[in-house]
Chains A and B, each alone.
Chain A
């Protein structure tokens, strides 16, 4: 994977990589991807992908409220608040 692809990937992942990290990760990611490329040797024709292992049953939850009354406690974990709002710097 070249630096350009790595930069796009890092942006999608919301990670900032400085020049040093770019180099380290480029090498590490490339090595791993090369290893992943071994999978190309496998004949996968006719194999269905396993998207969900061992989930053969329909599952659905009853439409019933589950009151844990945790909202105040959850807000305590927010790094910044104004009243009951969670605050972040303006998006712009």
Chain B
């Protein structure tokens, strides 16, 4: 298992051409990559390295030198990054080879990848359905077996939700555990570079490579960090997964029958494995989405102010004055959802409104952290669904952009609290994957991997869509 079978696939001529064929067949159906280069040098002695010669995908809001970095937006369609993200550099140093850039919702804003201005991405399980988002391209590529892992970014669930929709593992690390240098900012205080992978072991190995403090990101932390007092001592060896105390949330509303059944059966699974199940309540969860979107849009309004067509990216050359040029380039360059979030974020920061919205959201954020502290004082882990429904069809009218935001209820809390969460696939229902997530106190990633691994064993590996072949 894990990434070892992938080593050398770019070097061995026969394997390479088979890989290329397989890749392109799938890609024609699902459109997970905005750009890819499978024919490239694999450093000759990379086999000795932990991820030597292993191909991987990178969400197109993470910089890879020499590749475009479009963020799924017209405003950066022709922009090529002059540098690489720290996470990418660390993976390259470990021998891994970035083979392409994965599609996403524009600037990471969305839950379907349909907000990409550049390409449509489909779910490998059913191409009439979305791959989830915003890291939909990364999830689809891993699910179809095009790469063993891909980097994504998780601002409010953007790694975990597409992982759940496509049936792969999705790790949202502790805030600051992975350098954000090179991740195009959407909501800086919430987001983190994450991993979509086909096995727990792959996710763990990739995380081990990319984690740790970076001098280019002063919000990055030593791993494990100083926050040992918050929620026990996660830096210590993980408790035996089979005897872990797992908190579960009672009375969750709005779940589809498939997701609700899967949540119950997952609880039963861990109980049967010997874990102690602790029902808990998370009262602040009801306000998490409002607080999340307030903070996320506020930060986005500043983070996206740099796109003006002055120094790089799309410029409307028809404009006569500087102001006109900037307004017009932004108006034509951004999609509707991005404009909506910029407007919301600008508004909640305006004087006269800031206390009521942004200020209050920051305090609710504290309440949510306190809630998690309380849960993790008594439990090792928390088990929750990822999203209330399975992958939905493109253009599903019952789930408009607003409804999709409300559905982020189970994912955003981890971002507000900065804690790690791991989305894992379970047995498909009605021909579609269902994802559950394990959350833990800060720096408890190893605990999450261990607990997900017992479940992985029982499942015998992730479910795969029809047409999947192992490389």
* Chains A and B touch (C-beta atoms under 8 A apart): yes
B338 to chain A, nearest CB (A): 10
Chain B contacts with A in 349-391, Cβ cutoff 8 A? 350, 356-357, 359-367, 369
Q: Is residue A56 contacting chain B, with contact meaning CB distance below 8 A?
A: yes
Given A12-B350, A73-B82, is A79 in contact with B309 using a C-beta cutoff of 8 Å? yes
Quick one: closest B residue to A72, CB to CB? B82
B5 to chain A, nearest CB (A): 36
Given A39-B361, A74-B82, is A14 in contact with B327 using a C-beta cutoff of 8 Å? yes
A contact residues around B82 at 8 Å (CB): 70, 73-74, 77
**B189 close to A5 (CB less than 8 A):** no
**B301 close to A13 (CB less than 8 A):** yes
A contact residues around B287 at 8 Å (CB): 38-39, 41-42
Q: Is residue A23 contacting chain B, with contact meaning CB distance below 8 A?
A: no
Chain B contacts with A in 403-433, Cβ cutoff 8 A? 405-406, 416-418
**B321 close to A9 (CB less than 8 A):** no
**A54 close to B442 (CB less than 8 A):** yes
Distance, CA A59 to CA B176, complexed state (A): 13
Chain A contacts with B in 1-56, Cβ cutoff 8 A? 1, 5-6, 8-10, 12-17, 21, 24-25, 28-29, 31-33, 35-36, 38-42, 44, 47-56
**A29 close to B343 (CB less than 8 A):** yes
Which bucket holds chain A's interface residue count?
Answer: 35 or more
**B308 close to A56 (CB less than 8 A):** no
A79 to chain B, nearest CB (A): 4
A contact residues around B131 at 8 Å (CB): none
Given A47-B363, A54-B442, is A86 in contact with B189 using a C-beta cutoff of 8 Å? no
Distance, CA A57 to CA B49, complexed state (A): 32
Distance, CA A90 to CA B325, complexed state (A): 10
B contact residues around A88 at 8 Å (CB): 310, 322, 325
Distance, CA A28 to CA B344, complexed state (A): 10
A contact residues around B80 at 8 Å (CB): 77
Quick one: closest A residue to B294, CB to CB? A36
Distance, CA A51 to CA B299, complexed state (A): 12
Distance, CA A59 to CA B225, complexed state (A): 13
B contact residues around A83 at 8 Å (CB): none
Which bucket holds chain B's interface residue count?
Answer: 35 or more
Given A12-B350, A29-B340, A56-B226, is A42 in contact with B330 using a C-beta cutoff of 8 Å? no
Distance, CA A13 to CA B330, complexed state (A): 9
Bitwise interface map of B from 163 to 191 toward A, beta carbon under 8 Å scored 1, else 0: 00000000000111000000000000100
B291 to chain A, nearest CB (A): 6
Quick one: closest B residue to A91, CB to CB? B322
**A9 close to B319 (CB less than 8 A):** no
B contact residues around A38 at 8 Å (CB): 286-287, 290
Distance, CA A35 to CA B305, complexed state (A): 25
**A15 close to B327 (CB less than 8 A):** yes
Q: Is residue B346 contacting chain A, with contact meaning CB distance below 8 A?
A: yes
Given A47-B366, A56-B226, A78-B311, is A89 in contact with B357 using a C-beta cutoff of 8 Å? no
Q: Is residue A68 contacting chain B, with contact meaning CB distance below 8 A?
A: yes
Q: Is residue B320 contacting chain A, with contact meaning CB distance below 8 A?
A: yes
Q: Which of B79, B227, B326, B402 contacts A54 (CB 8 A)?
A: B227
Chain B contacts with A in 289-328, Cβ cutoff 8 A? 289-291, 293-294, 301, 305, 308-313, 315, 317, 319-328
A-B contact pairs, 12 of them (CB 8 A): A16-B327, A44-B360, A44-B364, A44-B367, A47-B363, A48-B363, A52-B219, A56-B226, A57-B222, A74-B82, A86-B311, A91-B321
Beyond contacts A15-B327, A86-B310: 15 other A-B pairs, Cβ-Cβ < 8 A, are: A12-B346, A32-B344, A35-B402, A41-B287, A47-B366, A47-B367, A50-B365, A52-B189, A53-B369, A56-B227, A57-B222, A59-B218, A61-B218, A77-B82, A89-B324
The residues of B with any CB-CB pair to A shorter than 8 Å are: 79-80, 82-83, 174-176, 189, 215, 218-219, 221-222, 225-227, 284, 286-287, 289-291, 293-294, 301, 305, 308-313, 315, 317, 319-328, 330-331, 334, 336, 339-340, 342-344, 346-348, 350, 356-357, 359-367, 369, 401-402, 405-406, 416-418, 442
Nearest first, the 9 A-B pairs at minimum CB distance are A49-B362, A59-B218, A77-B312, A53-B418, A44-B363, A79-B315, A50-B365, A47-B363, A13-B346
The residues of A with any CB-CB pair to B shorter than 8 Å are: 1, 5-6, 8-10, 12-17, 21, 24-25, 28-29, 31-33, 35-36, 38-42, 44, 47-57, 59-61, 68, 70, 73-74, 77-80, 86, 88-92
